[in-house]
Every structure is written in C-alpha cells, then in structure tokens.
Amino acid sequence: MREYAHFIANHWHRPASRQTVDRSNPANDALVARYAQGGQADMDIAVAAARKAFDEGPWPRMPAQERADILYRIADLITANAERLIDIEIEEVGKARRFVKGDVGAASAFFRHAAGMAAQSHGEAYSNLPSQKTGLVLRQPVGVVGVIVPWNFPIEIFAKKVPFALASGCTVVVKPSEMTSGSALEVARLAASAGLPPGVLNIVTGRGSEAGEALTTHPGVDMISFTGSTTVGQHIIRRSADTVKRVTVELGGKSANIVCADADLDSALEGTLQAIFAFQGQCCVAGSRLLVADGIAEVFLKRLIARAEALTIGDPQLATTDLGAMISAAHTQKVLGYIERAKRDGQRLIAGGDRITPGAGLSDNFVSPTIFADIQPDHALFAEEIFGPVLSVTRFRTSEEAITLANQTQYGLANTIWTTNLATAMTASRQLKSGLVWVNTTLDGAPQLPFGGVKASGFGRELGNAGYDDFTDVKTVILSTAPYLSSFSAPT
C-alpha cells in the first residue's frame, strides 16, 4: 500500500486533522493507497506557499525559456517513470492497461507542448495610435490557480491544466479526486526533482466537500480550473462568486455519435465501439447516444452487438483486457439503476445489461457492454449522463433530423459524425452545438487543439492557444512621450 501526505512547497506535509482517506482497487477491493484528508488548515498552508511563489517569485518573472526547460524535464521524468505511473492509475482507476498507457503518454506530451508555448507566448503592440502613442497588450499569468480534477482521467486531466498554467507563470494548488490522487502526487514529486521551485506546484488531497470547498472559496486563489460533473461545477461557480474568481469548468456530456447511410461502416463500427465502451463509458466525451440512419440500422446494430459481445471484460492489469472495473461499487450501482429502470419500463435491451465478476479474485464492479435500441429523446437513457458502458440507439431518416436529435440535449461537449459526403460533414460541423466535432474519427485530440464544451458542458478551454490563454490576463498599457493635455484645456 502507498501512503502519502500532502505535497506543499516541495515537502510532504501531514494533514492538520491527522485524518486519512483510503483507496481500494475497484477491480479487486484490495487496499492500495492511503491519502491525507485535507481541510481548511492544509489549504491555507498550500495557498500561502503558492501565493509566496507567485508574489515573490522567481517563477512568474523567470525567463520563459527557463520555465520551459523545467517543464521539458518534467515531461522526460513522466516518460522515464511511465511504468510506475501506469501501475498507480490502473490500481486506483480500474482502467484497462491499454488505455492507461495512452493517458500517461498524453500527460508527458502535454507538458512538452506547454513548455514550447511558454517561450512562444506574446502580446500585441500598436504603433498607430494618435499622438504617436504606443499601445501594448501584455499577457500576464492570472496568479494562483486552484485545479480540481475528477477520477476518470486523473493524470491526463491534471496535465491538460497544470503545465499550461505553469508555462504562463501561474502557481498552482491541485485538489485531485479523493479516489485517484496518486498520479498527481507522484508528478509533483517528479516536478520538484526537475527543479520546479518550492510553492509553484502544491497538492492537497482529500474530499471535495472539505479540501475542494476550501480551495474554491479561498481569498488567496485567483482562478479555479475545474473538471467534473455539471452539478459540482454549478456549485463551484456559485461558491467562487464571493471572491470573484476566474472560473473555467469542463463538465458533463451526452455526446451523439451519428452514423450516416453513406459512412464507411467499418470505421463507423470501430468508432462507435470505442466511443462508448472505452474505459467503460466513464468518459465525459463518451459517444453515449448512437444516432443511426434507418436504411443501415439493422445491419449496423447486428455487427455492433457482435463486436460488443466479443469485448474482453476482466483484470485491468492484463494487456488483453478491453473493459476494466467501474470506479466504485456506488457508481456501479448507479449505472445498473439506469439499466434496471429502462428494462422495467419496457425499453428494448439488445446487448449486455449485467453486473459481472469476470474472474477469481476480482470484485463485482464490472458491467457488460450494454445497448438499448429505439430510445426516444424524452427517455433518461437519451437525456442523462450515465457515465457507464450503456449505449442508447435512436434511428433517423435525414441528416437534418440527425443534427436536430444530436442537439436535443442540455450538454454540448463533443459530437461525432460518420459520413463520406463533404456537404453533410461541413453542415454538421457548423450546426452541432458542441465545443468539439469529430468527422470520421472520435475521442480524438492533440495538444495544439482546444478541448471544452458549451451549454451545460461548461466554458473555458484546455489545450491549444485557447487553453493557454485561459491562464493569462490581458493587460493594456498606453505609452505617451508627448505632453499630456486634459479635456479641460483641450481646444473645443
């Protein structure tokens, strides 16, 4: 079992309360980690450290290239320690090895990309103002950033935020999910050994209701960058109002995956499978609503059921496992509740729908790939974020109807369309109400491309120039060398 304290100013700090939070491996219920249970007192120390590192420096005033050099070293250390980080994520998250390898690789890539941005960042200059004045638009770091991370992509979401904040010159306090805090603490430790000055990156673990609340309301914090559920996001927006913080919120989703009759059906099939069953559907951008053209629906669903039933559910440690464990018994129960209610009210179950124990020594926190057909837009399976391997299928006649159905949700994170018709692809790209649209690919991304939602999926962006800019303030400077004339003395 791994035991951790908070990581503040490059040192381990025991929690003021002396209380801890245990984490068990959801795949086999074995105790794997014990974390410090943080509260207001711990957060005060961490925020003071981040405040000092920001206000007194050197971090925000360092030449950007020096900040970049440290971020590159952190990226290298993540790569060098990938095996350990992968093991921690598998144990705490229950996610199958084949997916976790990608998450850790992405984390290193995000640090590397942010390092490059540190040295590239620049403002604007205007020499065309009246009286030969000069206008400067400076980009400056926001200050102390509170980062709140969910459990589904712990290291990847940490790395979508932290290196970009650091690259801009901000200092950071992270509150990871109480269930999956290991990778954040390990990366912070690696960052210290890469030469990151004390106080620049601090980790306070514990529950959202205590540690998270203390971070959100702290007067020493300038910004909260949150990823998680829409309900908690709304709460954070409200709670941050008293101290007028900048807030960015990456929230829930209910993405449509549209398969047109003219699609390359082999690709659409692989994409549909990936979109909903990767990481057991515990994914904000999961393609949880399949919208399929009437003419191909029967054949497509037949093939989809066969592929879904052939997926291997089992020990997340094994390289051959497709679906690992759900995050917790409570979440498994919540997902099964949706399945049971849908069965009871007569919805057509065409695959899965079971809770299983896939092998000796494994828990029963596993759900088989589940598909319900002929779901109407007013049904919970169509409307609500289930966050499990549960696909709702709805048929459409025209691509206009498909776009209307796709937009018939409170969420607006990502949508996918499979089509070989360029006009259909372009119309969908313009009309789908989401921060991301994938055409003939899905669950796709790159460090240079912004990620984030609209509507109830939140606001603000991660990654890309937009993600970097969210951690900066724009300051306008007007420089004059001519005598100043007030409006009172100026000729009328």
With the C-alpha atoms ordered 406, 407, 409, 413, is the resulting torsion angle positive or negative? positive
265-277 and 294-309 helices, crossing angle to 10°: 50
Q: What is the DSSP letter of 43?
A: H
Are 251 and 237 spatial neighbours (Cβ–Cβ below 8 Å)? no
Has 284 been annotated as catalytic? Answer: yes
On whether the CB atoms of residues 446 and 424 are closer than 8 A, the answer is no
Task: Check binding of 411 to ligand NAP (CB under 6 A).
Answer: no
Query: Minimal distance in Å, beta carbon 74 to ligand NAP?
Result: 22
Among 13, 112, 113, 235, binds ligand NAP (CB under 6 A): 235
> Encoding tokens for residue 38?
């943080």
Give which of 295, 383, 299, 309 is closest to 349, Cα–Cα: 309
Binding mask 263-302 for ligand NAP (x = CB under 6 A): ---------------------x------------------
440 contacts ligand NAP (rule: CB under 6 A): no
Q: What DSSP element (H or E) covers 223?
A: strand 223-227
Write down the residue that tokens 């035991």 correspond to. Answer: 3
* Cβ proximity to ligand NAP, 210 vs 315, nearer residue: 210
Interface with ligand NAP in residues 152-211 (CB under 6 A): 152-153, 157, 175, 177-178, 207-209
Q: Is 413 in the site for ligand NAP (CB under 6 A)?
A: yes
470: how many CB neighbours lie within 10 A of its CB? Answer: 23
Touching ligand NAP, residues 452-481 (CB under 6 A): 453, 457
For ligand NAP, the binding residue among 387, 396, 438, 468 (CB under 6 A) is: 387
* Size of residue set near ligand NAP by CB under 6 A: 32
Q: At a CB cut-off of 8 Å and minimum separation 6, what does 87 contact?
A: none
C-alpha span between 171 and 47 (Å, rounded): 9
Q: What is the SS3 assignment for 197?
A: coil
User: Which is closer to ligand NAP, CB of 251 or CB of 260?
Assistant: 251
Q: Which is nearer to ligand NAP, 45 or 247 (CB)?
A: 247
Residue selected from 77, 109, 114, 232 as contacting ligand NAP according to rule CB under 6 A: 232
- Which class for 330: exposed (0-12), middle (13-18), buried (19 or more C-beta within 10 A)? exposed
Active-site hit among 170, 260, 283, 284:
284
Choose between 207 and 307: whose C-beta lies nearer to ligand NAP: 207
Q: Could you tell me the smallest distance in angstroms from the CB atom of residue 331 to ligand NAP?
A: 8
Indicate which residue of 92, 213, 250, 385 is catalytic. Answer: 250
- The CA distance from 157 to 90, in Å, is 15
**Residues carrying an active site annotation:** 250, 284
Where on the chain is the footprint of ligand NAP (CB under 6 A)? 148-153, 157, 175, 177-178, 207-209, 212-213, 216, 227-229, 232, 235-236, 250-253, 284, 385, 387, 413, 453, 457
